[in-house]
Amino acid sequence: MKRIFYLWALLPFVCANSVAQEYNHYERVDTTKIYEVETVEVITTYAKRTTPVAQDNLSKESIIRSSYGTDLPSALALTPSLIATNETGVGIGATSIRLRGTDATRINVTINGVAMNNPDSHSMYWYDTPDLISSVGSVQVQRGAGVSTNGSGAFGGSVSMTTDALSPEFRGSASLSYGSYNTNKQGVNISSGLLRDHWVVDARLTHIGSDGYIERGSTDLKSYMAQVGYYADNTKIKLLSFGGSAKTYLTYNGVSKADMEEFGRRYHTSGQYRDANDNVAYYDDQTDNYLQFNNQLVINHNFNQHWRLNATLFYTYGYGYYNQYRDDEKLAKYINLGRDGKADMIRHKIMSNHMGGANVATNYHTRKIDVVAGGSWSYYTSPHWGTISWVDGVDDVDGRWYENDVVKRDANAFVRADWTLLRGWFDNSLHLFGDVQYRYVHYKSWGSNDNAIKGENGSYSMQPIDVDKEYNFLNPRMGVSYIVHNHNLFASVAIAHREPTRSDFTDRYMFAEDDSYPEPERLTDFELGYNYISPRVTLGVNLYYMLYHNQLVATGMVNDGDDALNTNVDKSYRRGVELMASWKSIKWLTLSANATLSQNRILDYVDQMKDSPTYGQNLGTMTISYSPSIVGSFIADVHHRGWALMWHTQYVGKQYFTNNEVEALSLDAYCVTNLDLSYTMKLRDGGSMRVGMAVNNLFSTIYESNGYGYSYMWDGVRYDDAFYFPQAPINVLANVIVNF
């Protein structure tokens, strides 16, 4: 029976409630028996099986295969409608995800209920928390608006994670990986086991490195995780800290098709300059450097069999900077230099940030009703500034060429209820669900930005920033689910809101003719789903219709920091069907597949890119950029006498970089296959050793997983410039994990 459950949990489309053991912690249990299976208990951001939202649960066992060294998105890509992209070509470093066509700024990510998206950019930078996959105990992906969550709104979906369980016994592990492009990982983890019947201490250290498939696309990640847990009969407390340092070569500018044909697919121009002899050279420290520490104090207390409390205090510190070589740069763009002319220079774009706050929730549970009420408050500040360390031929380079500051206050309060209206004799139940959240956001930014603007007299000045916006959002959700035997039918409607990002405010001048601010977005999400789960067959279908007002869609252009330039569109929608199926054909083989067929459209799209040849024109109904109409996966999972094999093939349809449906600004459809093979053997002392090998892009498919582009006019001729992020051909990563 345990093996059957393990196989189910591995599959991305199983909507069984495997998270936190169905939350059955209301009865008193022997604490020495619960430690091994219990992760941090989260009652706010996780959905139950009866919650009428599209959801998929990945257990620790299902994601450990991806812990060789690649970022967590490689495991998330097993779930329906989700695509992982990477700039270095090997799945390590600058990695991101899209869900139902929406980008990372609209996918809410939490760990133990704490929002991980940067409050300024709304993005989740996975390499800022290196090797997070080795610390995760459970993952739930919710598609659509989902349930009330903390941080920026979930417009494509959410990823809710908990950190790993603490062990009641002394144990440890050591991991070593090595593979193509000098990709490597070294990790060690040790747990004290139960001390004085109440305490457990756990720690992990990891290093991950890679040269990358892309030239100079190197990654150097160092991470740590430390936990102290206290367990009593009714109270559980965890103090944990995780994070690390990341150094990645800047590869966000991509490569054009012309350059790929001339110089090869691994070529890119970041850090390129001409030396004194007019030869092409590269600055070897063209890097993004970031340090982040995440600290959480999590308290769970059961008052009795009906009431429990969950409270989390958190503080995150971050500091990072870009090193950039600028060839033949206009010196007038830098106010601290105070001179004209052009010269090579090395500049640094720097930021630090602090975020602190608290999440509190209480839960009342009986046989008929389950109510969760709570809220969250956070305060974020992040100064940005720029310095110059060297200018060719200039001695005085002191001072800052721009500086600005950001303060963001984010608070919410919610109440959520699941009422069992009917519980029959035939293993059937009818559940009504209601969830309403009030969210307050105050975003303030002031100072000067890093963009130099040329005035009418030809002189340059730094772009001023003066943003002071308050938002009050009301986000209601309601639905119904009916469960009978192995069948689950649900329907829901939800409204969600989301404020603009920093770059939506500061970079609007780069494509818009006016000085207006972007508007917040509103989503009305309709979901209708059905799931059938049995020991041998799992089936699922989910229909969704996501209706947007003022959706911020990507123009296709990016700013100097690789953030998308977005513009509001009045009316747009995403609608589709998600199909899921699995079949345990024999005891050791499970075959599964999922597919998403969708339409993603803007109604009466008016081109707002001021350099576009169609600027100001109503182009009618257009496909939303970066939104493939087909995404599908096939998975074969084999387990037999210590051997394990997983075959994963994913197909992603064609994508446009802009909303104009320009063929020259598009990403071709691709189909890629990855293979994972491992063997686990028991050791004499009770431990185990797992030897594995991941073969990525098994058939050496020539493809690009991401890109960007734009159009402009020059001397009456239209030009379409597109840049791509090529992925590596067949590459191998071998791994050994010893558990003791």
Is 93's pLDDT higher than 90? no
Is the pLDDT reported for residue 37 higher than 60?
no
Residue-range domain boundaries for the chain:
2-739
pLDDT of residue 26: 32
Interval 103-115: pLDDT, tens: 999 999 999 999 9
Residue 358 has pLDDT above 70, yes or no: yes
- 72-89 tens-digit pLDDT: 898 899 999 999 999 999
Say yes or no to pLDDT of 18 above 50. Answer: no
In this prediction, residue 428 carries a pLDDT of 86
pLDDT tens sequence across 417-439: 999 988 876 678 999 999 999 99
| CATH T-level assignment (fold) for domain 2-739 | Maltoporin; Chain A (2.40.170)
Model pLDDT, residue 349? 96
Q: In whole angstroms, how large is the CA radius of gyration of the chain?
A: 26
**How many angstroms separate the CA atoms of 524 and 275, rounded?**
55
CA–CA–CA angle 166, 171, 175 (5° rounding) = 100
What mean pLDDT comes out for the span 26-45? Answer: 51
Q: Which residue has the higher pLDDT, 129 or 6?
A: 129
Tell me: pLDDT of 14 over 90: no
In this predicted structure, which of 22-31, 358-367, 455-464, 537-546 has the lowest mean pLDDT? 22-31
Question: Which of 648 and 615 is assigned the larger pLDDT?
Answer: 648
User: Residues 304-332: pLDDT tens digits?
Assistant: 999 999 999 999 999 999 999 999 999 99
pLDDT at 39: 55
pLDDT, one tens digit per residue, over 655-688 is 999 998 999 999 999 999 999 999 999 998 889 9
At 561 the pLDDT is 64
Using the predicted structure, report yes or no on whether residue 382 has a pLDDT greater than 60. Answer: yes
Chain CA centroid to CA 211, Å: 23
Confidence at residue 240, expressed as pLDDT on a 0 to 100 scale: 96
Give the pLDDT score at 427. 74
| Residue 80 identity (one-letter amino acid) | P
Collapsed DSSP state (helix, strand, coil) of residue 69: coil
For 688-735, write each residue's pLDDT tens digit.
Answer: 999 999 999 999 999 999 999 888 788 878 889 999 999 999 999 999
Residue 6 confidence (pLDDT) above 50: no
Q: What was the pLDDT predicted at 562?
A: 62
| CA pair distance 485, 474, nearest whole angstrom | 36
| The two three-digit tokens of residue 407, written as one number | 């303060």
Share of the chain above pLDDT 90, in %: 74
Burial category of 575 from C-beta neighbours within 10 Å (exposed 0-12, middle 13-18, buried 19 and up): middle
Q: Which of 401, 510, 590 is nearest to 4 (CA)?
A: 590
Q: What six digits make up the tokens of 476?
A: 């209601």
Condensed to tens digits (0 to 9), the pLDDT of residues 251-300 reads: 999 999 999 999 999 999 999 999 889 999 999 999 999 999 999 999 99
CA distance 142 to 387: 42
The stretch 496-509 carries a mean pLDDT of 90
Is residue 374 within a helix (H) or strand (E), and if so which, with residue range?
strand 369-381
pTM across the whole model: 0.91
Q: What is the distance between the alpha carbons of residues 212 and 727, in angstroms, rounded to a whole number?
A: 10
> Tokens 């090529």 map to which residue?
726
pLDDT at 33: 45
pLDDT of res. 610: 67
Q: In the predicted model, what is the mean pLDDT of the chain?
A: 89
Instruction: Show the tokens assigned to 79.
Output: 């779930």
- Least confident among 195-204, 384-393, 454-463, 662-671: 454-463
Q: Is 253 left (phi over 0), alpha (psi -120 to 50) or beta?
A: alpha
pLDDT the model gives residue 711: 82
Q: Is the pLDDT of residue 229 over 50?
A: yes
> What's the token pair of residue 266?
């691994």
Given a cut of 90, whether residue 21 has pLDDT beyond it is: no
Mean pLDDT value of segment 516-541:
95
Q: What pLDDT does residue 1 have?
A: 36
- pLDDT band (50, 70, 90) for residue 510: confident
| Average pLDDT of span 637-652 | 95
pLDDT band, very low/low/confident/very high, at 513 (cuts 50, 70, 90): low
188-217 tens-digit pLDDT = 999 999 999 899 999 999 999 999 999 999
